[in-house]
Amino acid sequence: MSTPQSGRGVHSGPVIALDAMGGDHGPREAVRGAVQAVREHGLSVVLVGRRPELAGLLAEEDAAGAVPIRHAEDTLTMHEGALASWRRPRSSIAVACRLIRQGEASALVSTGSTGGVVTTSTVRLRTQHGIMRPALAVSLPTRPRPTVLLDAGANADAKPEMLVQFAHLGAAYARSAFGTRNPKVAMLTIGAEPGKGNRLARKTADLLTAAAAQAPQSQRLDFRGNVEGHDLLAGEVDVVVTDGFTGNVALKTVEGAVRFTMDAVTEAMTSSTAAKAGAFLQRKGLRELRNRLDSETYGGAVLLGLNASVVIAHGASRAPAVERACRLAHDLTSGGIGEEVRSRVQAGARSARRSRTGSGGEDQPAT
């Protein structure tokens, strides 16, 4: 647990490097979010971006000096591709990664484009020892708890062994972010029965069943088998594992279908005078619902499996979303997600070795 060099000393816990230049609304919302995170939650944040601009915005918020700044002269727009962001070492996201590699910060929050953040942070922070690829995790607005969906798009082409690691990453995330003690893990496929799905899903299900049976108790996956698309929002499992292509399609389909339905409801509610009167009586409940289902509210993807927690606030994030992203980065890092991933992956590798040499546990399904 390091403290920021230029911090004021009153804050403790992990230092969060906030790439403040990336969002759709410019750095103002990031600066506001950082000030809230520092003042209201006592977090340690370092703003990364063009110093004159950030200092001016802090002063406008009546918070000059309240949040330390690290200068980065270059800025990537939301529309620059992943490759551009990777090539530019002076961009705010690259400088934020450098702070982490130098030990001056231990988590990253960015409002930049998902593709750019994934590429840059994967190259600059690298995966944890033993992790093949990082996975992008999102939280779906299910009840009673959010369901974690991963990979939501970091790896368009995945291997079964990667998906098993994603299951461990997702379980560690559900525990760190939502306090779920024994996360129930399922695999997204077509058809609920065992043996359904494409080649990748079938092979992955076999490996997950074996991993559930073989790992030692503390790192055991509670693998509940297959779920289908209509189960994503049922809230019955804590983690849903899939490849990044399917996961990204599913996530965006959820977002689109929720928006489509809410728009259709609004239209139906104003289609007659009686309906309009009804809509007036409904407005509070529906506004709250729209907020709950709004991707900006539950949004904030997390890139798991790197040598630091990386939270990607939605590009259209306003200050409260940036503040929530900082709190999530803080919770993940303080909660020791890195250590949990390490022990889970080591246990997974050991049991895979035992399984290959034939000395491992019984091949019984977990469910």
Contact flag: residue 316 with its own copies (CB under 8 A): no
Q: Which is nearer to its own copies, 81 or 216 (CB)?
A: 81
Shortest approach of its own copies to residue 279 CB, angstroms?
A: 7
Contact flag: residue 192 with its own copies (CB under 8 A): no
Contact flag: residue 197 with its own copies (CB under 8 A): yes
Of residues 268, 349, 353, 367, which one binds its own copies by CB under 8 A?
268
**Type of residue at 124:** R
Q: Which is nearer to its own copies, 30 or 250 (CB)?
A: 250
Binding mask 205-244 for its own copies (x = CB under 8 A): -----------------------xxxxxxx-------xxx
Site for its own copies in 21-50 (CB under 8 A): none
How far apart CA 137 and CA 18 sit, in angstroms, is: 19
Shortest approach of its own copies to residue 140 CB, angstroms?
A: 9
Contact flag: residue 349 with its own copies (CB under 8 A): no
Q: Are 348 and 165 in contact (CB under 8 A)?
A: yes
Contact flag: residue 286 with its own copies (CB under 8 A): yes
Shortest approach of its own copies to residue 88 CB, angstroms?
A: 19
Shortest approach of its own copies to residue 163 CB, angstroms?
A: 14
Shortest approach of its own copies to residue 296 CB, angstroms?
A: 14
Interaction site with its own copies (CB under 8 A): 115, 153, 156-157, 188-191, 196-199, 201, 228-234, 242-246, 248-262, 264-265, 268-269, 271-272, 274-275, 277-282, 284-286, 288-289, 292-293
